Structure 1
């Protein structure tokens, strides 16, 4: 999928290409499944990201699937959230790093003796659910009620970032099916960053001025 086919991920659902949003989410879920299936049995306790081992990182990533299922089944109340940018701005400081780390460990343990099989079953179940749910179905998120088609880009973002994390931890290349989700997530990250007080510093970071390996820049 090239840039001309990509609808903006940061706007509201009126300007969003529903088929593209759904395809990116499904592709990211399949990429996560593909990578989880390549984890050797002995690698699940391997350090992965911060306090997480590979199992905990996989558990945390799986929440980009389970939250869709859970939030669709929960009555949506509260103020309507306009889109994915507003969602991320609302939840940026909602949970402490310690709470997030612990939840990842717990979710990882809940994957059981065969985490890859658990991920496979979860991906199959949730992608079917999403496929059979209309765009305007309400999702009860921590930030407020959202249309499913506005919430999915936030889950694609989580799948893209943490599947990349998992690939790095395993020393494997990211699956090719992740590429559209990565491109859309970069766009969403830029939209979020533009609304932050540190927008200028983020732009300098992306253009290789500071904090990045030499030669790594969007220019």
Structure 2
């Protein structure tokens, strides 16, 4: 479990719903144009093919449809920041489920279309306050939808990396929510106020034990762009690679975050 959180960031329910649908729509448009040979390409996710990855992208929304079909928990007993630390334990089951879905749905475009239709109907039928029994505890639907932006953005990046020439765009609100949740997860994993992590234009967090900065220029500063941060936070990119390639700017004796990454494996 992560350390105790100081605060929980809130998200606009309407914007989060729109962001999830927009990013999923970006994926659908790209997948519709993939050839059988492209669907058979390997990915950076172990033995997953692109077809398996597409199946998992659909599963990110199917999870919502599954959870709203279960009895509603009596009370909320989880927080949004519990999710990044709970998801790692599910990795083997997730991989097996992706391969099973890929085999069961040979037409990826039809599979994603049906997934989107059901998901849209479920959103219309349930308010953002509706509790879901997730692996991170009982969470409101809106909070769980924030986790879907992480899944969609991270795996859109995996898809772009796997298929040469593919350039699936990132919805701004989806990328913002993903960046903020993963930044807040870092602050929960490494609580403190000695280091300022800047991910413009979406997030700034304080983390790492040590003397707390209160005025002027912080003595320890890390700055990077949103996609580089997403790759660092999920283990797609190592800290050393990012620093050596000047994708991260780090200054100060407590600006090395390698001990705290990835936050979502």
TM-score by shorter chain over 0.5: yes
With over 3 angstroms needed to count, the CA separation of the structure-2 counterparts of 1:81 and 1:165, relative to structure 1, is farther
Pick one of 165, 168, 176 that aligns with 2:161: 168
Pick one of 177, 181, 185 that aligns with 2:174: 181
Q: Distance in 1 between matches of 2:169 and 2:34?
A: 13
Name the residue aligned to 1:100. 94
Are the equivalent residues in 2 in contact too, given 1:28–1:181 (CA < 8 A)? yes
Q: Structure 2 matches for 1:65-214, cutoff 5 A?
A: 65-77=61-73, 80-89=76-85, 91-95=86-90, 97-111=91-105, 113-171=106-164, 172-176=166-170, 178-197=171-190, 200=208, 206=224, 210-212=240-242, 214=245
Are the equivalent residues in 2 in contact too, given 1:43–1:54 (CA < 8 A)? yes
Name the residue aligned to 1:11. 8
What's the CA shift string for 1:140-199, capped at 9, x where partnerless? 2122221111111001110111112112211211225x3321122111110011111496
Greater RCO (CA < 8 Å, at least 6 residues apart): 1
With over 3 angstroms needed to count, the CA separation of the structure-2 counterparts of 1:22 and 1:11, relative to structure 1, is farther
Q: Distance in 2 between matches of 1:27 and 1:76?
A: 27
Are the equivalent residues in 1 in contact too, given 2:79–2:136 (CA < 8 A)? no
- The 3-state SS of whatever aligns with 2:247 is coil
Q: Distance in 1 between matches of 2:48 and 2:121?
A: 29
Are the equivalent residues in 1 in contact too, given 2:87–2:135 (CA < 8 A)? no
Q: Whose helix fraction is larger, Structure 1's or Structure 2's?
A: 1
What's the CA shift string for 1:3-52, capped at 9, x where partnerless? xxxxxxx836xx33121111111112212212221211222211023210
- The 3-state SS of whatever aligns with 2:132 is strand
Q: Distance in 2 between matches of 1:216 and 1:128?
A: 41
Are the equivalent residues in 1 in contact too, given 2:68–2:122 (CA < 8 A)? no
- TM-score, normalised relative to structure 2: 0.67
Q: Mark the structure with the bigger radius of gyration.
A: 2
- The 3-state SS of whatever aligns with 1:146 is strand
Q: Distance in 1 between matches of 2:249 and 2:65?
A: 36
RMSD (Å), alpha carbons? 2.7
Which stretches in structure 2 are left out of the alignment for 5+ residues? 1-6, 192-206, 209-220, 229-238, 251-265
Name the residue aligned to 1:26. 21
Are the equivalent residues in 1 in contact too, given 2:20–2:145 (CA < 8 A)? yes
